[in-house]
């Protein structure tokens, strides 16, 4: 399981949401007994343990590695993360879909205009 401390997936809002979704999937699909691999940037996890704002994520890692983290404990976080994930998924589809549809309409219009002008010759 990967626990990145950065955002790479455009369908998630930030690294915290990604972090919670990874932990939730690990518990749900029983990855808990598999090795936990994380990208270790300097002393980021040590800093997380000391930071009041980030300590809960440090605690989640600790509880996960000791087998004590449960779905119920993540429930409030996962509900919020999944709602945001779905919202961003829809926005991503719109951001890709609308320009694609416009491009197809333009291409079709050019094709139709070209075909009509050739048929008049």
**What percent of the chain stands above pLDDT 70?**
78
Q: Is the pLDDT of residue 50 over 80?
A: yes
Kindly report the pTM of this predicted structure.
0.59
Q: Give the number of other Cβ atoms within 10 Å of residue 24's Cβ.
A: 18
CA distances from 40 to 3, 15, 22, 52, 89 (A): 9, 14, 16, 20, 28
CA distances from 31 to 22, 42, 78 (A): 10, 26, 17
Q: What is the pLDDT of residues 54-109, one digit of tens each?
A: 888 888 888 988 889 998 999 888 888 777 777 776 766 777 778 888 888 999 89
- Taken in order 83, 32, 44, 38, the sign of the CA dihedral is negative
Alpha-helix runs per DSSP H in 29-70: 44-50, 55-65
Q: What's the rounded Cα separation, in Å, for the pair 17 and 36?
A: 18
């Amino acid at each position: 399981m990967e626990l990145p401390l950065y955002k790479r997936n455009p369908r998630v809002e930030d690294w915290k949401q990604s972090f919670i979704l990874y932990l939730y999937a690990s518990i749900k699909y029983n990855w808990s007994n598999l090795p936990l691999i994380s990208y270790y940037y300097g002393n980021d996890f040590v800093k997380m343990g000391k930071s009041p704002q980030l300590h809960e994520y440090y605690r989640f890692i600790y509880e996960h590695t000791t087998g004590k983290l449960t779905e119920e404990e993540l429930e409030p976080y996962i509900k919020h993360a999944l709602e945001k994930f779905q919202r961003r998924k829809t926005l991503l589809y719109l951001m890709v879909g609308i320009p694609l549809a416009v491009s197809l309409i333009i291409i079709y219009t050019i094709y139709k205009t070209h075909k009509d002008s050739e048929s008049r010759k």
